[in-house]
Structure 1
Amino acid sequence: MVEETPWQQALRYENRPNPYPFYEELRKTPVARQPDGSYVVSTYRELVQLLHDPRVSSDQRKLPVPVENPFVGTIITTDPPEHDVDRRRMMRHFGPPECPHMIAGFEPQIRRIFTGLFDGMQGKTRIDLVDEFAFPGPVTVICEVLGVPLEDIPSFHAWIETALDGLDLGPEATTEEQQRRAAAVPAAVTQLRQHLGDLLDQYRERPGPGVLSGMANDDGPEGPLSQEAAIGNAMLMLFAGHETTVNLIAHSVLSLLRHPDQLETLRRRPGLIVPGIEELLRFESSVQFWPTRSALEDIEIAGTTIPAGAPIFVAYGAANRDPKRFENPDKLDLERPNNEHVGYSQGIHYCFGAPLARLEVQIGVSEFIRRAENPRLVEDPPPYRRNQIFRGPKHLWLDIDGVRD
């Protein structure tokens, strides 16, 4: 039996709660060739170098064997100039310079959403933080930002969960159980795309609030997104709103409960939440890695040559715990100085939804700290979702003494 590499071990579902020992082993070879011919970059310096290297493509269509990925043709899986033009078209409706106050303008609404969720927990002594708080908060926010009807959330959630559960890039991908999950993905993605396409068509006929309507009726200097690109990028924003912020809120609470000294620090100094969220994002990266990059030509890095055409995995979760970049990286330190993590990537593919996500997590985690009385973990580690890229708890059961007003 062939021994698995640290990367293959990190991708196994049984190791989802704690992939960090395997990342530590992986970092001993900063650019590690895998048996399938791909290369995993796990150290901070080398990963950042490649994120800014124009010889690295993000377009999965350029891979020798394209990765099954619902985001094909979106801004996260395209290169300049296509990427640059479509990103500008989207940003016109999401942030500066055309919409400089959009994110800040949503702050009162975000507070109302998270406050209302905790109001609904009054009288409870056991809660599932994921199902009752970390999921409905961000999903409601992203739907309102995009202009997706809230009654569509159950359908979108089911399709997205099916798509993510069916994607496995590790040694368990060939099992019969995982093959059954993978077989359900195409239908879920097709239904999701069809529904978003119908929404965009409706907004073209009757413009309304939200980013989708803006994208459907764009009159900017570069013209509108094509229908295909608008559907794909709308789907990307829905996925991100469903997964990354949900996982970050759940992981933030989990990490703070595991580090009661840091939780107590936040209680005493609520203003620390802003830099604190950066540390929580470094500590438990919502996006563990990204699988669609490849080398456009031979790239010499860290004593290794990545040959032209080779797939490259950028392992954010490993780089954010690199001891050569972060002192005592396995320690949660909400006051960590010089905390330039790669939790939202870097370079041209830096997450443009990061300001919204940061605001949501700052408000959500602050509300939890303020209102949950004496929270305790029921199960540690909690059960995890299957997806390896968007890593996060499936449930997070907590016992509490009550909910403060």
Structure 2
Amino acid sequence: MPIGQNDAISWPELNGLFRRKDIAGVEAHLRWLRQSGVTCLRLMLEYAQVRHRYFERPLGRFVPAMVRLWDDLFRLCEKHGLRILLTPFDTFWQWRHWRHHPYNQRNGGALDQPSRFLVCTATRRAIKARLEFAVRRWGGSGALFAWDLWNEIHPEQAEGSADDFGDFIHDLGAFVRRLEISLYGRSHPQTVSLFGPELRWRAHMPLREPIFRHPDLDFASLHIYEEGTIDHPSDTVAPALGLGRIVGEALAETRDGRPFLDSEHGPIHTFKDKKITLPEPFDDEYFRHMQWAHLAAGGAGGGMRWPNRTPHVLTPGMRRAQRSLAGFLPLIDWRRFRRVHLGGRVRVSRPDVAAVACGDDAQAVAWLVHRETIGPNGMLRAVAQTEPVMIDLPGLAPGSYRIVGWDTAAGTQAAEWRAQADGRLKLEVPPFATDVALAIRRC
């Protein structure tokens, strides 16, 4: 189950890999991540915010220092049991810094304009050559989790059209899969990510089919930056409820039960446009609520935060939240959990409490949060609960169920009890101050 976040080879915690300036420091950091329950990092093979991290320079020459950097990172991740969700290009900085990029014709590359990245035949060959190098070099590593074949695929990379996204995905995906099978006898999962608001901004374009239902992709992923809530939060509850709703909508779009992973989220507008780093206590609670909403809505793991902080790292409080999530996960049999998002079918007895939940006929996960005790700072106030909360979950087969209440902030079990279901499971939840997660499993 992926617990982790986005990272980059030029950000503070991995920067010591470059030219082996501080391998020991990076290893200590990775060890701490694993101790914090982290299982997966999403990384870009080339992070083009700075010019001395290009993976190729010039086109077709894989920079020895960068190859060695990735050799070291894969070795360390193998040693400490971490997995990598790998994407070949950082398309954001590649576009912003196009004048410097090695794929630019002016720098000896194959491409005249970045608006033709997905349609240029010569560039397609170069993309495949990069992927082939990565597959041959690291495809046999146990640290490789999956391929994000293209970061934030966008019509502007294909001359303003999304009509050929499906063919582009098939061409790259089939190429990687054939090569992996020929070399290793198996292949890794594949996905392609999309900047989530594009689904609304470009509703007239055929974006949903390739992202959610492409037959060559193994799981679906979005970068969930809902405007006004997730991208610029004023409290810690509305963004999480928005994330839960969007995860549910995404799962409904897949239609075949494939997993969904939010592979980027965070306060991007607050940080990038407003130049504000959220106060650490607020951001810690925002982060914690977001990961529990993602899991309870039916997503794989807790979603993957883009730090959007100065310094550009997750806080110790966020690491504690990840450790809490890791402690909760063994309470559910994930290999047998064929969960669906329960959405509006969940009934809660009190309007001041919101619920996000998923389940099948034998198990369920729910997250309950108070939403009317938000203080002036946008954070939840811990209040003494005077009335019980009743939650009614659909779809659970008749029988006896064990319910564990989980204190998400403390990372500990807060309650345990049993209840009977008759097609619906009605629970009286013990008092909780701000929020609580429930693991529900048939005995």
* Normalised-by-shorter TM-score class: under 0.3
Structure with more of its chain in strand, by fraction: 2
Which has the greater radius of gyration? 2
Name whichever structure is richer in helix by fraction. 1
TM-score normalised by L of structure 1: 0.25
Between 1 and 2, higher relative CO (CA 8 Å, sep ≥ 6) is seen in 1
TM-score, normalised to structure 2, is 0.23
